[in-house]
A and B are shown apart, each in its own frame.
Chain A
Amino acid sequence: MHLTPAELDALRLSLSVAARSVLFSLPFAVAIAWLLTRGRFAGRWLLDAVVHLPLVLPPVAVGYVLLLVFGNNGPLGGWLRNNLGIQLAFTTAGAALATAVMAFPLMVRSIRLALENVDPGLEAAARTLGARPFDRFFTITLPLMMPGVIAGAVTAFAAGLGEFGAVITFVSNIPGITRTIPLALYTAIQSPGGDDQALRLAILSFVLGLIGLLLAELLARRTRHLLGR
């Protein structure tokens, strides 16, 4: 199956958007997971709820909120554009942001689960061996939760390849800039005589998803082996 230039564009964009969303949100996801697991503060339940909101909200609503906040006239969007020259609305970076927000709960859940399974006794042992907090986190805690971090990242990446509602609402459907595979698929379905095109893109999504899931399993096995389990 040879891909047309438009399909290649969509594939490239999907991969780029998903990768950027994961890279951008991973450190935040680790930090939030840590706060939710180990943190002792009053508003923890609220943070927990906010993080999980994208799971239960209509994606279109999330996209709309992003548009209000990060749009060119939004409070944060305007500030970013005027002070840092960063425009998010109607750009690939914006698509990555929308994807990141949608996949964030998935990533946090997976990392949090891994963190809950890290034996605090090992961290205590590292303490008695002279390791300070950041040292302990990067040499003991983070490596031990790596299977969960990787699983979360791969899941978020695979889910990000297919994000539709939030992306189309926030950054619209611009060929070569924000038209990822699901958006291209939607466009094909809407076009008269686009059935073949739609089927090809659906197959492409299917293959990508499968590869993603297999890769996740492979990585998880490999890290588990390194951890001696």
Chain B
Amino acid sequence: MLKVKVAKRRDGFALNAEFEAPAPGVVALFGRSGCGKTTTINIMSGLLAADSAYVELDGHVLTDTAAGISVPPEQRRIGYVFQDDRLFPHMSVLRNLRYGLKRTRAPQRTIAFDQIVSLLGLQSLLHRQPYQLSGGERQRVSLGRALLSQPALLLLDEPLAALDAARRDEVLPYLERLRDNLSIPMVYVSHQFDEVLQLATHVVLMDAGHVVAHGSLSEVSLVPQLRAIVGPDSVGAVVDGVVTGVDATCGMAELRVGSGSLNVGVTSVRIGERVRVQLLARDIILATEEPHGLSVRNRLRGVITSVVNDEDDARLVTVDVGGATVLSRVTRGAVEALGLRNGMSVWVLVKAVSTRGHAFRVGAG
């Protein structure tokens, strides 16, 4: 368990954030640039002094300003992957990787050098100097270096933000492998919702120095404040499901979601694995009676639990589909014509193809 409470005031900006998160797991600190995410993890690492702070990891108090406790960063066993990789320019990749490792005590060494080199694909880079590496390679080395310092917690400050789209797609799978293969709790700072969707197990939503909401991705995806941060077109409920069938030729998989089933576009998954999919509110169609003769692959039966204003002429409708919740954006006219209201039974239609790029394997089940 990770417990964090931080407060810091700095010319016109006030950070006042508090959250708890399960460990191990990947906690995403998500919010717009400048909302205090990086300040929060800097305080957690001990690199930045807070006005008041309490940081506890698995029962160990690392910072408690009230009690005058502040473990120096070099003794915290908190790994930090910076946005700019911060590789030591005067050392080879090998020496960079070993820097933290050499400074640990033998009994603490549970993450082996060879394991990290193979997980991150660093074998061919070991004898290069940092300036000879691409941006993606540098960030992989930086990840490896932090992990080899045998951290009890890994902080990642937008490790992909400095990379172009191609490099991001090159590094992301490695981050997934680390999540799935190592049981190190991670706190992942990001302002890209798709990264959060792909990696996080728990989300802390921040805005203007405050924690707006925290919980599982499914819970946080329903929070109204998210809209202002991700933009109206990225609003959509996140649902987790277990793979019950795979159609490899079409790149589709059937998921059990709540009491229903859902066909989504996701490749390279196996039966029994867990898949997470974001169903964008703008792509969800509602019907008051069971439709026939449509190309739409997915129809889920549900009950409307709320209808709220979204934009001037749109409404956001929340539907409980038996153990899972989805959001649908419809026009005000449609709400009136169909008489959509709380407690009403509806059919939720999801085009399978619209889920492509929004569905990710998140674990072995």
Contact = CB atoms under 8 A, between A and B. Distances in A.
Interface of A: 119, 121-122, 124-132, 135, 139-140, 143-144, 226-229
Contact of B74 (A131, A227, A228): A131
A226 B99 CA distance: 18
Contacts of B103: 129-131, 135
Given A121-B84, A128-B74, A132-B74, A227 B47 contact: no
19 contacts: A122-B86, A124-B73, A124-B86, A125-B88, A127-B47, A128-B79, A128-B146, A128-B149, A129-B145, A130-B74, A130-B77, A130-B149, A131-B74, A131-B99, A131-B103, A143-B90, A144-B89, A226-B90, A228-B132
A139 B149 CA distance: 16
B13 interface: no
A38 B120 CA distance: 37
B87 to A, nearest CB: 8
Nearest to A143: B90
B90 A227 contact: yes
A128 B99 contact: no
B90 A128 contact: no
Contact of B99 (A119, A124, A126, A227): A126
B80 A228 contact: no
Given A121-B82, A121-B84, A228-B130, A129 B146 contact: yes
Contacts of B84: 121
Interface string B66-93: 0000001111111110101010111000
B16 interface: no
A135 to B, nearest CB: 8
Nearest to B95: A139
B82 A229 contact: no
Given A124-B73, A227-B89, A227-B90, 11 more contacts: A121-B84, A122-B86, A122-B88, A122-B89, A124-B86, A128-B74, A128-B146, A129-B149, A130-B103, A143-B90, A228-B89
A37 to B, nearest CB: 19
A226 B89 CA distance: 8
B131 A228 contact: yes
Contacts of A131: 74, 99, 103
B82 A228 contact: no
A178 B131 CA distance: 48
A143 B145 CA distance: 19
3 residue pairs, one from A and one from B, having the closest CB atoms: A228-B131, A129-B100, A130-B103
